[in-house]
Amino acid sequence: MSATVPRIAVVDYGAGNLVSIDQALRSVGASVDVVRDAQAFADADALLVPGVGAAAPAMDRLARRGLAEPIRRWVAAGRPYLGICLGLQLLFDGSDEDGATTLGVIPGRTVRLAEAPTLPHIGWNQVERLRPHPLFDGIPPDADFYFVHSYAGEPAAADAQTIALAHTTHGASFVSAVARGSLVGVQFHPERSGRDGLRLLRNFVACVRSGQWTAEADRLPDVAAVGV
């Protein structure tokens, strides 16, 4: 890991707006590399997979560029990962949107939003946190984030408690953020969510820098601090 400025590799696989992610990460002090092949992110400090749209064409493009397996290995190795929107959905086993088989690093499926009064779910909505996490440090509990999607990942029941980080309600409620170790994913777009979105990205960069991915209260006491 780099000592001062973490190097974030943003995966470009032709599925969405990279300008805003690039600009947002730079504005919170990260060094950004837009990468199109696996060699280009091998020594990055964190991997960011963005994306909007459907799963099947996205998986096709990842496969064509030889990216699917390296991303899977990256997550399996416990290296820092941030998935945004489709970049989160692709972590699940598959998608109901088009039947695509996705990366399968989080048990569960991407499903259509249930009982939604309008679809796509477009606009600002609340993100109700289920447990403390440094990703949300300093962000007011009632902060709104920007969403634009019709599907969302649904963690398998056995893992839902440990992986779900936040819920959002549009019709029924769905999982809008997940975290498992240094793997985090958000269904909303922090790069388009104003000041609170930038704060979330700043927090992600801080986690990458410090290697601390749990809320302070949940951390084991530091032996050096309590000891002697």
Binding mask 10-29 for another protein (x = CB under 8 A): ----x-xxxxx--xx--x--
Residues 165-204 that bind another protein (CB under 8 A): 169-170, 189, 191-198
Nearer to another protein, 180 or 202 (CB): 202
How many C-beta atoms lie closer than 10 Å to residue 85's C-beta?
A: 24
Report the phi/psi class of residue 25: left, alpha or beta, with left for phi > 0 and alpha for psi in -120 to 50. Answer: alpha
> ∠ CA(35), CA(59), CA(164), 5° rounding?
90
Out of 29, 33, 36, 53, the residue judged to bind another protein by CB under 8 A: 53
Nearer to another protein, 173 or 214 (CB): 173
Nearer to another protein, 70 or 197 (CB): 197
125 binds another protein (CB under 8 A): yes
Residues with a known catalytic role: 85, 189, 191
Sign of CA dihedral 147, 148, 154, 155: negative
Binding mask 127-156 for another protein (x = CB under 8 A): -------------x---x-x-xxx------
| Closest residue by Cα to residue 30 from 184, 185, 204 | 204
Whether the Cβ atoms of residue 63 and residue 71 lie closer than 8 Å to each other = no
Residues 6+ apart with CB under 8 A from 219: 212
Read off the tokens for 168: 């959002």
Q: Which residues bind another protein (CB under 8 A)?
A: 14, 16-20, 23-24, 27, 52-54, 57, 117-126, 140, 144, 146, 148-150, 169-170, 189, 191-198
